[in-house]
Amino acid sequence: MQAILMAAIPMAKVHVRDAEGRELSPTTREKAERLVADGQAEWVSQEPPTIRLHRSIPMPEPAAPEPHPLDGKRVLLHVCCAPCATFTAQYLREQGADVTGFWYNPNIHPYSEHERRRETLRQYAEEIDLPVTWEPGYDMPDFLRAVCAQEQQGERCRVCYHMRLERAARVAAERGFDALTTTLLISPYQNLDAIEAIGRELAEAYGIEFYFENLRRGFREHHHMAREHDLYQQHYCGCIYSEWEALDREATTRRGRRNGRRNGPGDGDAPASGYTG
Ligand code: SF4
C-alpha cells in the first residue's frame, strides 16, 4: 500500500504561483520539491499542493485591440432621419471615425414630411456638432419615375436604396471621403442584404469603401436617444406607398380590435403594427 501511494504522489500536479501570487503553469511534485530544496520556492499549501516562487515572472503584455476599420477615416454617413442618426453617429464616432452626415431622401412623402424630417436632423446635428452635407431640392418626381411599375415593397425599396446611396457615393467620391455608410443599417424594417449589395456595388463604381455593419442591436437605444433629445419620430418609412401600407395596417388592427370587443376577449388582440424605424 505504501509503495502504491509513493508511486502516485510524483504524478500529482503542483500549482505554482509567482512572488506576486499570479498563477503559472502547474509543475510536477518532483520539480516543485527541487525548487523548494534549492531555495527558489516555498510550499504554501499541501491541499491542493501549491508552491510560491520567490521571484516574479514577467508576463507578456496583453495584445492591443485591433483598431476599428473606420478608425481615423473620413466617413460620409447617409442619414435617412434624425432618430436613426442618433445611435449610428455616436457609434461610428466612438470607433474613431470622422463623421459627416449626408441628407438626400427624395423618397419621403409628402413634402411637408420631408421638410419636417430634414429640420429635425438640422436641429439634432447642431446639438451633437455633426457636420451635414445637404443635397438641395426635392427629387420626388425622379423617385416616383424610378419606382414606377416596381411598386411592390422589396422591389421598390431596392430602387430607393440605390437612388439615395448612388447620390451619397458620388458626393463621397467627389469630396474625398474614405468611406460611405448609411443609418438605414440600424432599422429592422430595412433589407440589410440588399443595402449591403447595393452599397458595395456603388462603392466599387466610385472608388470608395462602403462600410457595412448590422447595427440593429442599437435600435432600442435609438428610440431612447430620440426621446431624450425630443426628436420627431415618424410612423412610416417615407414613401407614399409606405405611408399607405402603415395606415392600412393600423386601420386593419383597429377594425380587429373593434370586432374583438364585439366578439369577446381573445379576438382582435393583435398589437398595432405602426412603423417606428
Ligand atoms: S418603404 Fe422605405 S425603403 Fe422602401 S421604397 Fe418606401 S421609403 Fe424607400
Phi, psi (rounded to 5 degrees) for 194: -65, -40
- Whether pLDDT at 3 is above 90: no
Q: Please state, rounded to an integer, the average pLDDT across all residues of the chain.
A: 91
Mutate to test the pocket of ligand 1, among 147, 153, 155, 160 (most ligand atoms within 8 A of CB): 160
Is the minimum distance from the CB of 239 to ligand 1 under 6 angstroms? yes
Any idea what DSSP says for residue 162?
H
Are 77 and 102 in contact by the 8 Å Cβ rule? The answer is yes
- Distance between first and last Cα of the chain: 75
Instruction: Report which of residues 116 and 61 the model is more confident about.
Output: 116
pTM above 0.95, yes or no: no
Nearest residue (by CA) to ligand 1, atom 2, is: 237
- Whether pLDDT at 6 is above 60: no
pLDDT-derived band at 11 (thresholds 50, 70, 90) equals low
- The structural domains of the chain, ordered by start, are 2-53 (no CATH), 74-234 (3.40.50.620)
Nearest residue (by CA) to ligand 1, atom 5, is: 157
Percent of the chain with pLDDT strictly greater than 90: 83
Instruction: Report the alpha-carbon distance of residue 46 to residue 43 in Å, rounded.
Output: 7
Lowest mean pLDDT: which of 86-90, 128-132, 263-267, 268-272? Answer: 268-272
> pLDDT digit string (tens) for 207-266?
999 999 999 999 999 999 999 999 999 999 999 999 999 999 999 998 888 888 776 544
> pLDDT digit string (tens) for 27-52?
999 999 999 999 999 999 999 999 99
- Rounded to the nearest angstrom, the distance between the alpha carbon of 235 and the centre of ligand 1 is 13
What is the pairing mode between strands 179-182 and 74-78? parallel
Nearest residue (by CA) to ligand 1, atom 3, is: 157
Cis omega (within 30 of 0) for bond into 131: no
